[in-house]
Structure 1
Amino acid sequence: GISTCLSEGLKSIRKALTGCHYLFDGNSTFGVHHIETMVKADAKVAEVSAASILAKVTRDREMIEAAKEYPEYGFEKHKGYGTKAHMEALARHDRCPLHRKSFRVKVLDEPTLWR
C-alpha cells in the first residue's frame, strides 16, 4: 500500500543522501529512523513549502499527460482530486490503471444508470 511505498521511498532517500537533515510534512516516519516530522511543515518551513509546490506542479503536469491516455476521466481539469466530475467519471467508467487498487469511493459501490 501507500505506507509501504512511502517507507521504501524514505529509505532510498536516506541511502542516497547521507549527512542531510530530513524534515517531512506530517506526523509519521513510516518506520524510518533519523527522520524528523512536523505537522503543517509546508506552512512553517520555506524549504518544505517549496518542495510541496514543486511536487504539486509535477503531479499536475503528469495528470495533464494522463488525460491524453484516459480522456474520459477529465484529469486535465481536476488533476485527480475527488471532484464531482471525477466521481461521475468513475461511476461511468470505473477505475483506470492510474487509480490505486485501494481507492474506494461510494459511487462505485452503488448501482448506477451508467453501467
Structure 2
Amino acid sequence: MEEGSLQKIAVTILISGLLFLLIYLNEVELERIQSLEDVPLDEEVKIAGMVTKLTKKDKVVFLTVEGLKTETMDIIFFPKEDIFINLGDHVTVEGTVEEYQGKKEVVGNKLVVR
C-alpha cells in the first residue's frame, strides 16, 4: 500500500472513533437520586439541589446540598483548582457514594453551578 492510502485510512478510522466517543458520551446519563439510603456503596450518582452548608479547606471542599424533597446530602470534593461556589447556589453534582464513620456521603468528581 502507498503511504498516502495508509494516511487516508488512519484519518478515516480516527474520525470514526472520535464520532463514536462523542455519541457514546452523550448517551450516558446518570440517574438523579433523592436519598443516599438506598444507594449501594461505590455507585455513581447525580444530585441536584441548593448548597446549604459550605466549608473550604486547603485541598478539600465540604458541601451540604438540600435536594428537592428537603433531603440533605454531604458531598466532599478534592478539587485540583479553585471552586467558585457560594451558599444558596443551585448545583448539580456527580460523584461516588461512599461511607465515612457509618454515614453515607458523596465524593464528588464533577460540580456544575446552575
Larger radius of gyration: 2
Q: TM-score range by the shorter chain?
A: under 0.3
Higher relative contact order (CA 8 A, sep 6+): 2
Q: Which has the higher helix share?
A: 1
- Per the normalisation by structure 1, the TM-score is 0.25
Q: TM-score, normalised by structure 2?
A: 0.25
